[in-house]
């Protein structure tokens, strides 16, 4: 019996070891660090990250340089004392890796809806990047892992825009015949209805970007081809098609600015430019964008009081008797805890991230029709559609519990400064003004559009530090000087020889 026990023990040990080794691979798998992710999870992450950046870029620079907002302290942005601003650069290239993974998963199959949606996201991301910096890595971007290209060339902006427009066209065509199994679409809800809206977005973006390059290239025929064939090239038809991300009331899916420090949030106030322009039009949208100054409320005579852009630190803090005499940003966009006396915390899921709206599209079409770039439709109708849509949008977004008057005033469209009358240049100026209002809190889009049209006027503030010039671009990340010096240097030389906020990129030359 003792001998039997001796032989049984090693045998039992071997059997146990053999059974355990079958599970070694599973045991050593980190379930919290997957090596493969499905397309629906990837695409929702890209949408969320990019739309969050849209909000933050609007807050930090877009609303400031467009003079929707101004600052009362730490005023470098408002004085055009810009250092490197790398957030767009980083978020685009970080998220582009995930889009590339989707292209691998779909094998670039046009019948897969994730392929078409990813092309739209890619196009928008690189449009933001090239609009902010000029020439950037594009065709060789993100190929470090697949092709060992660690120092990608900087493509010419003209070539980047050709690629963007080609990809948007391809996206529209592929989604027209793709399958309907689209999940993870936190923008439009996925499925057939979501795919239909992605197609509208693709074609509406084509119009935006064609107009952007219209001073450099004749895009009339391409614009007309879209407008003339809405069945093949559907575009936004109303506010229900707006590309906007709706946030939730609770973290981590709240509006991203709720993570800002209270003091940092309260540095941003309403620009006098915005207040004065809307007051001149008797425009009730000011009630969305601003709150009466605390001092005026305390005095029983509430009124909107903006602050001029570009003041130095001392003058900004002292303007109009101090911060109590300067209006905070609108209640819909307010900090959850830094509000005026006797105000409840704002509804946390009211603010949205905007990508593109029906109103913007209508103003683009009004401009194109007024300039004779398209022959379809009537410029005055497009113009009125844009104004009506923007009023209706904010009325739908702002919670009724705020008791704000956002109704369009009687006779608004007929007043001299709004009515679609005058010379061609005067009509274009009215389109630009209304479009500027509609682009409030829409990333850097108001700045990008102003650079193209120079309307409405942006006047540098008295304390500006940029030689009375409004910046037209971001400088390249300083890290590129060491990580990709030759290609960066070539791009700088091609764009004018200086990596400066005033260097005009191809679009502006």
Residue 285, domain member (yes or no): no
Half-sphere exposure of 13 (CA within 13 A, CB side): 6
Please, is 493 exposed, middle or buried when counting C-beta atoms within 10 Å of its C-beta (0-12, 13-18, 19+)?
Answer: exposed
Predicted confidence (pLDDT) per residue in 394-442, tens digit: 999 999 999 999 999 999 999 999 999 999 999 999 999 999 999 999 9
Of 352, 447, 349, 443, nearest in space to 394 by CA: 352
Find the CATH number of the domain harbouring 426: 1.25.40.390
- Give the mean model confidence (pLDDT) for residues 323-344: 87
Cα torsion angle, 428, 363, 63, 128, sign? negative
Residue 407, domain member (yes or no): yes
Residue 33, domain member (yes or no): no
Query: What is this structure's pTM?
Result: 0.93
Predicted confidence (pLDDT) per residue in 294-325, tens digit: 999 999 999 999 999 999 999 999 999 999 99
d(CA 258, CA 484): 36
- Give the mean model confidence (pLDDT) for residues 67-79: 97
Residue 50 φ/ψ, nearest 5 degrees: -70, -40
- Give the mean model confidence (pLDDT) for residues 197-215: 98
Report yes or no: 294 and 340 within 8 Å, Cβ to Cβ: yes
Residue 58, domain member (yes or no): yes
Q: Residue 417 CB: number of other CB atoms within 10 A?
A: 12
Residue 340, domain member (yes or no): no
How far is CA 120 from each of CA 171, 243, 364, 399, rounded to the nearest angstrom? 6, 12, 19, 31
- Give per-residue burial for 89-120: e unless 16+ CB within 10 Å, then b: bebbbebbebbbbbbebbeeebebbbbbbbbb
Count the domains in the chain: 1
CA angle 337, 342, 344 (to 5 degrees): 50
Sequence-separated (6 or more) residues with CB below 8 Å from residue 74: 267, 313
Residue 408 φ/ψ, nearest 5 degrees: -65, 125
Q: What is the residue range of 488's domain?
A: 39-256+351-508
The per-residue DSSP string of 70-132 comes to EESSS-TTTTT------HHHHHHHHHHHHHHHHHHHHTT-TTSHHHHHHHHHHHHHHHHHHHH
Alpha-helical regions (H) of 213-352: 220-228, 262-265, 272-280, 286-289, 294-298, 313-318
Residue 235, domain member (yes or no): yes
d(CA 132, CA 503): 11
Q: Is pLDDT above 60 for 178?
A: yes
Residue 457, domain member (yes or no): yes
Q: Is pLDDT above 80 for 8?
A: no
**Torsion over CA of 139, 140, 145 and 148, rounded to 10 degrees?**
150
For residue 307, the SS3 value is strand
- Give the mean model confidence (pLDDT) for residues 90-109: 96
Which of 69-78, 250-259, 296-305 has the lowest average pLDDT? 250-259
Predicted confidence (pLDDT) per residue in 217-253, tens digit: 999 999 999 999 999 999 999 999 999 999 999 888 9
- For tokens 């993570």, name the residue: 259
- For tokens 């993870």, name the residue: 184
d(CA 420, CA 400): 31
Q: Is pLDDT above 50 for 33?
A: yes
Residue 199, domain member (yes or no): yes
């Amino acid at each position: 019996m003792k001998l039997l026990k001796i032989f049984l023990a090693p045998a039992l040990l071997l059997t146990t070891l053999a059974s355990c080794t079958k599970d070694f691979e599973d045991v050593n798998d980190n379930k919290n660090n997957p090596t493969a992710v499905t397309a629906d999870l990837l695409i929702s992450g890209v949408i969320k990250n990019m739309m969050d950046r849209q909000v933050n870029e609007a807050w930090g620079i877009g609303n400031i340089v467009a003079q929707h907002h101004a600052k009362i302290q730490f005023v470098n942005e408002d004085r055009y004392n810009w250092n490197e601003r790398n957030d767009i650069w980083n978020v685009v290239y970080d998220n582009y890796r995930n889009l590339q993974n989707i292209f691998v998963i779909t094998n670039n199959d046009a019948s897969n809806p994730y392929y078409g949606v990813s092309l739209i996201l890619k196009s928008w991301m690189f449009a933001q990047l090239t609009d902010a910096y000029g020439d950037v890595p594009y065709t060789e971007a993100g190929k470090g892992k697949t092709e060992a290209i660690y120092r990608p060339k900087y493509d010419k902006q003209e070539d980047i825009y050709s690629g963007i427009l080609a990809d948007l066209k391809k996206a529209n065509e592929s989604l027209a015949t793709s399958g309907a199994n689209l999940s993870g679409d936190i923008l439009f809800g996925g499925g057939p209805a979501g795919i239909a809206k992605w197609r509208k977005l693709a074609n509406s973006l084509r119009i935006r970007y064609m107009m952007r390059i219209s001073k450099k290239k004749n895009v009339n025929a391409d614009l007309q081809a879209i407008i003339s064939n809405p069945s093949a090239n559907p575009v936004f038809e109303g506010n229900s098609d707006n590309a906007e991300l709706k946030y939730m009331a609770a973290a981590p899916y709240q509006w991203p600015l709720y993570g800002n420090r209270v003091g940092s949030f309260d540095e941003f106030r309403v620009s006098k430019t915005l207040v004065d322009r809307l007051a001149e039009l008797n425009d009730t949208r000011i009630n969305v964008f601003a709150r009466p100054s605390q001092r005026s409320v305390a005095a029983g005579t509430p009124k909107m009081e903006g602050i001029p852009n570009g003041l130095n630190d001392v003058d900004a803090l002292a303007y109009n008797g101090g911060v109590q005499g300067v209006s905070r940003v609108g209640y819909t966009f307010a900090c959850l805890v830094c509000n005026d006396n006797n105000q409840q915390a704002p509804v946390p899921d009211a603010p949205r991230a905007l990508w593109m709206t029906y109103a913007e599209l209508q103003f683009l079409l009004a401009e194109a029709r007024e300039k004779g770039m398209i022959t379809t439709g009537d410029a005055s109708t497009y113009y009125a559609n844009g104004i009506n849509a923007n009023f209706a949008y904010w009325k739908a977004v702002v919670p009724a519990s705020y008791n704000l008057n956002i109704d369009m005033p009687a006779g608004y469209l007929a007043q001299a400064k709004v009515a679609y009358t005058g010379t061609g240049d005067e009509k274009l100026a009215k389109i630009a003004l209304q479009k500027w209002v509609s682009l409030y809190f829409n990333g850097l889009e108001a700045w990008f559009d102003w650079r193209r049209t120079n309307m409405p006027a942006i006047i540098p503030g008295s304390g500006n530090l940029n030689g009375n010039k409004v910046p037209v671009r971001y400088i390249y990340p300083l890290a590129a000087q060491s990580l990709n010096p030759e290609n960066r240097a070539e791009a700088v030389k091609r764009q004018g020889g200086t990596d400066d906020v005033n260097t005009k990129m191809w679009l502006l030359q």
